[in-house]
Chains A and B, each alone.
Chain A
């Protein structure tokens, strides 16, 4: 579900403004966005992502993880992982983001098409809703000053 926001129905942003954490030179920050329709001054309705302070079941959300190398050395073997909150149903990588490796147990990661889960009649191909964890492994080192972001879509159950 998307929300139609008029000019006056302002959204209260209750997102906790947590400090950006850093381990040494690498910063990582998470944010959760929700699709909102906004009516512009020309009357046209546009879909934009706003911080998800207020969501209801059926809302389509985008979970974003951003990183930045603030140090002076390249960083290698970086893995960014995100457990899918239990109330959310994984959908797919967000547009523009590389597809994550996914897992249904938090231990075994593979592509969604290759993931198999236990079913009543033996193992079966996993569906997006089976995914409990996602991760991105960066094959190339992150150069000093480089930054990027990964994102995936989910729907609130």
Chain B
């Protein structure tokens, strides 16, 4: 296993800030949330004036305004770019769909990577989701599943479309609100898309492991007492930092003390400052910061019990 701390996608986070209000008296504390469709807003002014009998207060007329349904949606990619370590396998690309309207709303989901792709609510694709229902403000993570082999620079998109309807902002959807009221399309126009570009890391390191068996009888049979020589070849096409190779000794074998070589040079097992340690179960080789083009070869031996 090669560990390195160098490959990271950029994470885009959507933060919803609730404004804090310090209301004490008549008006209930309000947080910044979307007013539900069907809410009736009433407004009444009061007027006070003083005459010889003292102050007189009375209300104005009351104006009532109904809140219509708002159909709106956002789709946010978890990352703008995503480095694919294993291009041969299926890749699950995550997106977050949010109902930013004020109505419970069905959204149809469509994934694409140049051609239609499956979408699911889980990364292994067990539960496909071509249509979801979200309450106002509700979010759902959706995975677009791209089967391997993955082509470099593939743009994977997820599009969420309000089933109620789409169109230009401000369009009225008759009867789409609660109790037969109308709904209005918000800034998304009822449809939103986000994209993640998949990148096959040309600088990704590779590690190849091979083994050679030599039995006490001179054969290559894996029998009791046979010695297995493992060879690990690590290649670094691009620069990496803080690289460590770890390899656990297989069950049924015992490690041959001080058998580790790095590029042909024998190094002790002790944690004594050289690149190799063995802690009783795992060989650990510290390679530091390889430069582009570096190839390091590690060998060690075990004996079959």
Contact = CB atoms under 8 A, between A and B. Distances in A.
Interface string B160-183: 000000001110100000000010
A105 B25 contact: yes
Given A105-B24, A118-B22, A119-B22, A14 B66 contact: yes
B65 interface: yes
A21 B58 contact: yes
A32 interface: yes
A53 B186 contact: no
Nearest to B168: A4
Contacts of B60: 21, 28-30, 65
A20 B65 contact: no
A157 B41 contact: no
A23 B63 CA distance: 18
Contacts of A56: 67-70, 102, 184, 186
Contacts of A120: 20
Contacts of A156: 35, 41, 67
A140 to B, nearest CB: 13
A156 B156 CA distance: 35
18 contacts: A1-B170, A18-B61, A23-B56, A32-B63, A52-B63, A75-B49, A81-B48, A82-B43, A85-B41, A87-B67, A105-B23, A117-B22, A118-B22, A119-B20, A130-B21, A133-B27, A156-B41, A157-B34
A130 to B, nearest CB: 6
Given A21-B59, A30-B43, A3 B19 contact: no
B26 interface: yes
Contacts of B59: 21
Given A29-B61, A104-B23, A78 B48 contact: yes
Interface in B23-57: 23-28, 30, 32-35, 39, 41-51, 55-56
Interface in A1-29: 1-4, 9, 14-16, 18-21, 23-24, 26, 28-29
B63 A79 contact: no
Contacts of A4: 168-170
Contacts of B26: 83, 106, 132
| Interface bracket on B | 35 or more
Contacts of A76: 49-50
Nearest to B24: A105
A103 to B, nearest CB: 9
A1 B35 contact: no
A99 interface: no
Contact of A9 (B34, B48, B50, B172): B172
Interface in B92-133: 101-102
Interface in A60-98: 61, 63, 65, 67, 75-89
B210 interface: no
A91 to B, nearest CB: 13
A106 B43 CA distance: 15
B170 A3 contact: yes
A58 B70 contact: yes
Nearest to B33: A157
Given A31-B63, A87-B39, A132-B23, A80 B32 contact: no
Nearest to A78: B49
B87 interface: no
A129 interface: yes
A57 interface: yes
A46 interface: no
A90 B11 CA distance: 34
Contact of B70 (A2, A57, A119): A57
Nearest to B56: A23
A104 B24 CA distance: 8
A122 to B, nearest CB: 11
Of residues A19, A37, A87, which shows the largest number of chain B Cβ atoms within 10 Å of its Cβ? Answer: A87
A75 B43 CA distance: 25
Contacts of B39: 87
A15 B46 contact: no
